[in-house]
Amino acid sequence: MPPQHILLLALFLYLSFSFAKPLEQPFPVTRPEDVYGPPPPPSLWPVRSNKSCTAYSKSQPNPLAKQYFDRRITGTINGTLAVLPIPLSLARSIIPSKYTILTSAIQAELPDFPLDKYPCLFQASYYHDISSVLNPGSVPQTAVPDFSSASIEFPFVDLLGDNSTSFRWVPEILKTITASKIPAITEAREFGTDIHDAVFEPNCEAYHREPDSDYTTTFGRSVDLRVVGHMSADVYSRFKPLGSGPYHMRFWKNVTNQPSSANGRRCDEMVRLFNTSVSTGHYQPVEVNGQVNARLKTFKGEKVWEDVWGIRTDPSFVGNNPLDCESLRGYGART
């Protein structure tokens, strides 16, 4: 074949493939922009993510505030947790190859979960009444003002290479923009996690109820302030109670209590307790079903999950961070 023909053939093949786009999502989903409209100009964001949430929040007070006299931080994490199943091969391609996925631990915690799937952990949370007691007998002090956060995380990851200790690998997280100026939060950058300054709807609550519906929603969006008007990430969730789902409390306790990190060197350990007054009795966890839409670097663009299961709950926590991940081998240093 003469070289011109080879060039033409190459051009033809390139054009035919470049027009063969992947199929769009086949099911109708609610898009965050249908509900919340286009993003506001970045200049309005610090105002909208309001600093005084503690005064507006309907979350119950932190029941541990008076119990820890050793300056440790305690608080509550009210929000929605869900499992977002993805192909195990996709998880493998996202999680750095030096870290093994502890598939036998996944099977131990989720015996009915498909072997070719991986359970990402979705969290949309409102951190409330975060305080510490500086001296025994003294009044608990607010350590960090209330803030919201949203993330899609990778539990059961072997960060230490010991083929046994399960960690959550957390590559990126959206956090209330004002929170990112607080040392206790900027410390989180030590874990290697990419923190997106974000605003949330609702801005001072764990979730809000849609009018005339059982659904509650949360929406966090982040803008890259260096590129004015450009979104850098957003996470939207919409859930309602719908009977009982496939995951047990034991599983939720397990994944939320795996220490987290992105770099495997420094780790965030927040021990969550599900047995205090804010997550039992009237406030016991509620199983929910719904959808999550996310535009994150981790997934290289938008991803939508429908018909996923989770819980609404408000565990209390005791924070021990930041720690060397190594000290958590076999969870040696647990509270």
Tokens matching residue 196? 């997106």
Tokens matching residue 128? 């409330």
Calpha distance 39→229 (Å, rounded) = 8
Report the residue number, 156 or 303, with the smaller CB distance to ligand NAG: 156
Report the residue number, 247 or 303, with the smaller CB distance to ligand NAG: 247
Three-state secondary-structure class, residue 159: coil
What residues line the site for ligand NAG (CB under 6 A)? 50, 56, 58-60, 78, 104-105, 108-109, 163, 166, 202-207, 254, 257-258, 273, 275, 278, 283, 314
Report the residue number, 76 or 296, with the smaller CB distance to ligand NAG: 76
Q: Where are the beta strands (DSSP E) in 68-140?
A: 73-87, 100-101, 117-132
CB of 236 to ligand NAG, least distance (A): 17
CB of 62 to ligand NAG, least distance (A): 10
Q: Cis peptide leading into 38, omega within 30 of 0?
A: no
Calpha distance 190→304 (Å, rounded) = 30
Cα-based angle 261, 263, 267 (whole degrees, multiple of 5): 35
| CB neighbour list of residue 62: distance below 8 Å, 6 or more residues apart | 74, 75, 76, 128, 129, 130, 131, 140, 278, 316
Cβ atoms of residues 131 and 65 within 8 Å: yes
CB of 219 to ligand NAG, least distance (A): 13
Question: How far is CA 145 from its chain centroid?
Answer: 19
CB of 133 to ligand NAG, least distance (A): 18
CB of 317 to ligand NAG, least distance (A): 11
CB of 123 to ligand NAG, least distance (A): 14
CB of 127 to ligand NAG, least distance (A): 12
Task: Residue 264: name the closest of 139, 148, 96 by CA.
Answer: 96
Report the residue number, 97 or 275, with the smaller CB distance to ligand NAG: 275
CB of 50 to ligand NAG, least distance (A): 3
Tokens matching residue 61? 């007070």
Calpha distance 141→119 (Å, rounded) = 37
